[in-house]
Each structure stands twice: as structure tokens, then as C-alpha cells.
Amino acid sequence: MTPSKKWYKFIIPIVLVCFGCTTENFEENVGSQSLTKQENFTTSRAGLKSIGSGVMMQAFYWDVPAGGTWWDTVEGKVQDWSNAGIDAIWLPPASKAQNGAFSMGYDPFDYYDFGQYNQMGSVETRFGSLTELQNLISSAHNAQLNVIADIVINHNSGGDSEVNPVNGQSNWTDFNPMSGKFFRSYNDFHPNGIHNNDTGVFGGFPDLCHHQTYVQDWLWKKTESVAKYYRDSIGFDGWRFDYVKGFEPWVVKDWKNEVGGFSVGEYWDGNASTLDWWTGQAEASAFDFACYYAMDAAFDGNDLNRLNDDMLWKRNSMRAVTFVTNHDTDEIYNGKMLAYAYILTHEGYPTIFYRDYEEWLNKERLNNLIWIHNNLAGGSTNILYTDNNEYIARRNGYNNAGLIVYINNADYWQERWIETNWSNTQIKDYTGHSNWEPTTQGGKWVKIQVPPKSYSVWAPK
């Protein structure tokens, strides 16, 4: 969730504060391509694909159909996604929120109600019942897919009004969930006896205080904490932390160190240096918003030189989760397939957006790029050429031959001589966009081509 959410009407300004962090004592969450697939990511549940061996699917979009059918819809797709090369699915916030059957989950009320209690105006959530969620997760696991939970712990919504003695004001901070777990009062939010605020407040909602031991216990430390309940009772395998600008990075680090699992934060910032700082402090991955903004400028703004911009994957590919669009942005813009060709041939852990895959773009073309990512896109990256309309890069290979990707934003065919890693080797375009099958020279040079407004990906035949 971000300040761009469609149902939020206002935002309180964010004040950033840098706090100290704890020492590192748990497994790395790493990005993708400089190591082997197996070494890059880990999964704590036997029988599942290693996270990072393939591609993540964001298995929802903003305002998916209400009526409690979404878990069933996704369950019907998990095997096909796995067959295509997906290794994890990211679900929307699964527990009961203030808006009940109409909520997308980003206004959480009862972290332990997955559609089994009659509160907030409904029994089921917008997405379905507890049983349907469990069936979905079971089917995903049977398809060897990890399931990533969307965790919203910056703020809560739906509490009753009570007076906060710290400031003498009435606030909606009295939470009495029907699950009987994690009751909350004014002392668990800001302001309280510890401090008035942390790094940010979202939308005027009650802002959880993660410095309170009671809050830490219920969120990740206790045997029945939210984190352990999600992992052990519901079956989630990893975490996507919402709006991490709203609390200090040590919260994500402590959560991950307590319960394990792949972790990625939504730190909405286009500055690669800032993203790199956050991933180091949290010891977790982050969505590469720097890459997102550079691609938007490159493909929608018709200047592929912008792909030379600083990005998180260039600073630390082992922490970068790349994406073309998500539930907050979910726009169709020019060159979206070119953007997918970019993230699916470059370093980082790429994410596919549900509507792009299932509704808006060519699924066969996306499946081809997923295959290329999983089988050819290894090793470090060298950018070979850029101008307004052309971009060529080489992946140098790791336990595979690597590849050359050629992206063309012009309205006509283009061709160029480039230096490969292969001498006297016949190569081909694995996208099928070109029928050339040239042989590289002894000095590794070869001429390749690319169609208008398209891309080609070259590797040994």
C-alpha cells in the first residue's frame, strides 16, 4: 500500500528518522543471477521451488472482484503458473479489515480472522473464507509454489474510540477482535508513553508503536504471534511488508530473524541509494522503484538512454525485486512488453503483474521471457550500447551460456555488430522474432537484429 491508493483521500506528511539496528544473525535474502539459482534463494518448506529460481507472480490487482471468489480464482491458476516457471505467488492482505467484504485488506482490523468470524459487516473477506484460503495455499504448495503474505503492520483500522491520556484526545484505538488475539489500546499506538511518533503515519490511521514489547510479542515473538500463525497455521512462506517507510528497518529485520522466510519491503522511493540503504538496514529485499521509474522514462518517454540510470539491481542485485507495474500503478503504458523483456533478462528477482499476464499482454510472449529468464539469464551484466531507441546488454552466464538482449523502441528494424562471449558459435534469437542464425567470429563479434517496437534475445543454438 502506498500514498497512491485509490481509496485513501488524504495523507499525513512523513517524517523520516534513522534508528539503530540489531546485528545480523539470520539467512540472507538474496537477488538473482551472479550465483547459481539454488544458492541464491532459500525456502523453509520442503518440496517447494527455491525462491529466486524463477519469477514471482503478483496474484491480485486493485479492486479484484468482490464476493469471496478470489482465492478460488487464484487456486485454479497456480499449476499453470508453476508450469510456466513461476516460483512464488504474492497474495493480498488476507485477514479481516475494517471494510469487511469490500476491503482490499490494507486497513487491517483482526490479523487472525481469515474469513471465519462475523465482524466488520461480513464473515468472509473480499477474497473468500479461511477454508478457501487454506485450499489455495495447499494447491500452491502441491504445485511447488511459495506463497508470500502481504503484511500491513504500520497501521490498523476499525477500532472503537477511546481517550488517549497522553494527549487527552479521542482516537480509534480500542481493538477487540472476535478472534480473541492481539487486543489493542491507545498504549499500543502513537502517541504513548514511549514516544509521540516513529518514521511516518499513513492516512490518519492509528499508527502502531513497534517499540512496545506487547506489540512486538503479538506481531512476531510469541508462539501465537501474527508471524508464526501465518507461517505455521495458515502456511505462508514469505513476506511482503507494506509501507515500510512508516517504521524503522529493524522491525523487518527482527521479524525475519524470528520466523525466517523470504522478505521484501515496499519502500516507495526512486533513489537507488536510499533503497540500498534500507535493504542493508532491514537485511531484506526491496522492490526496485529506481528501476521502475527509469523504465517508465525509457519506454514511455522514448529515451532508452535512461536505462543507464542508477538502480537497486545495479547496486545489489541480490536485494532487488524488479517489476513493471503493480496494484498501485496498474497502468498500461507504451512499451510494457519491452519493459518485461528488460527485467526478465537482467539481474534481480522479477515480478509479473496478474493483469499483465492474464488479461492485458500476450501470455505466450511472457511465458517465453520467463523461460529465457530461468534458463539463460545468468551471470553479471554488461551494457553494450544505448541510444534513444536502442539498448543492448550482455549477461555473462553462470552455469549457462548467458545471453544478449536487444531492445528496439523505433518504428523500424535495426541491426548492430556486438561483442559476445562466444567464439565461432552459431547463435539464435530465442524469442523467435528474428530467423537469423549467425555464427560469431573468432573474435566473438556478430551482427544481430531486432524488429520495430520489439526485442530479441540471443544465445548459442
220 lies in some domain: yes
15 lies in some domain: no
Distance in angstroms (rounded) separating the CA atoms of residues 262 and 365: 28
Are 274 and 224 found together in one domain? Answer: yes
- What is the predicted pLDDT for the residue at 330? 74
Adjacent-strand bridge partners of 455: 407
Could you tell me the maximum CA-CA distance found in the chain, to the nearest angstrom?
80
To which H or E segment does residue 146 belong? strand 146-151
Say whether 163 sits in a helix, a strand or coil: strand
Q: Give me the domain span that covers residue 409.
A: 382-460
- What is the predicted pLDDT for the residue at 202? 82
Are the C-beta atoms of residues 149 and 94 closer than 8 Å to each other?
A: yes
Say whether 390 sits in a helix, a strand or coil: strand
CATH number of the domain bearing residue 132: 3.20.20.80
287-294 long-range contacts, Cβ below 8 Å, gap at least 24? 287/321, 287/322, 287/323, 287/326, 287/351, 288/312, 288/313, 288/320, 288/321, 288/322, 288/323, 288/348, 291/320, 291/322, 291/343, 291/348, 292/322, 292/323, 292/324, 292/329
Distance in angstroms (rounded) separating the CA atoms of residues 187 and 174: 10
* Phi and psi, residue 293, nearest 5°: -70, -35
For 62-100, the DSSP string reads TT---SS-HHHHHHTTHHHHHHHTEEEEEPPP-SEETTG
Domain boundary among 353, 375, 397: 375
Q: Which amino acid is at 90?
A: W
Q: What is the pLDDT of residues 242-268, one digit of tens each?
A: 999 999 999 999 999 999 999 999 999
**Measuring CA to CA, how many Å separate 320 from each of 105, 179, 428?**
25, 36, 29
Q: What is the pLDDT of residues 348-360, one digit of tens each?
A: 999 999 999 999 9
| CB neighbour list of residue 280: distance below 8 Å, 6 or more residues apart | none
27 lies in some domain: no
16 lies in some domain: no
Are 248 and 115 found together in one domain? Answer: yes
Are 146 and 249 found together in one domain? Answer: yes
Q: In total, how many domains does the chain have? A: 2
Ranges of beta strands (E only) in 182-311 are 238-241, 262-265, 285-287
26 lies in some domain: no
Are 371 and 405 found together in one domain? Answer: no
Which grid cell is 335? 512499451
Say whether 149 sits in a helix, a strand or coil: strand
Q: How many CB atoms lie within 10 A of CB 340?
A: 27
Are 135 and 213 found together in one domain? Answer: yes
Are 77 and 95 found together in one domain? Answer: yes
Are 358 and 394 found together in one domain? Answer: no
Burial 265-291 (b: 16+ CB within 10 A, else e): bbbbbbebebbbbbbebbbbbbbbbbb
N- to C-terminal Cα separation, the chain: 44
Q: How many CB atoms lie within 10 A of CB 20?
A: 8
- What is the predicted pLDDT for the residue at 58? 98
3 lies in some domain: no
23 lies in some domain: no
Q: What share of the chain in percent tops pLDDT 70?
A: 90
Q: Is 213 exposed, middle or buried (0-12, 13-18, 19+ CB in 10 A)?
A: exposed
Are 367 and 397 found together in one domain? Answer: no
- What is the predicted pLDDT for the residue at 332? 57
CATH number of the domain bearing residue 454: 2.60.40.1180
DSSP state of 379: S
Sign of the alpha-carbon dihedral angle for 48, 52, 54, 59: positive
Residue whose C-alpha is closest to residue 253's, from 268, 243, 265? 265
Are the C-beta atoms of residues 404 and 420 closer than 8 Å to each other?
A: yes
Are the C-beta atoms of residues 46 and 81 closer than 8 Å to each other?
A: no
Residue written as grid cell 519491503: 265
Are the C-beta atoms of residues 248 and 19 closer than 8 Å to each other?
A: yes
Adjacent-strand bridge partners of 137: none
Distance in angstroms (rounded) separating the CA atoms of residues 237 and 136: 13
Positions in the chain short of pLDDT 50 = 2-42
Are 402 and 306 found together in one domain? Answer: no
226 lies in some domain: yes
Are 68 and 148 found together in one domain? Answer: yes
Q: What is the pTM of this model?
A: 0.91
Q: Could you give the count of Cα atoms lying within 13 Å of 348 in the half-sphere of its Cβ?
A: 29
Are 394 and 371 found together in one domain? Answer: no
Are 215 and 92 found together in one domain? Answer: yes
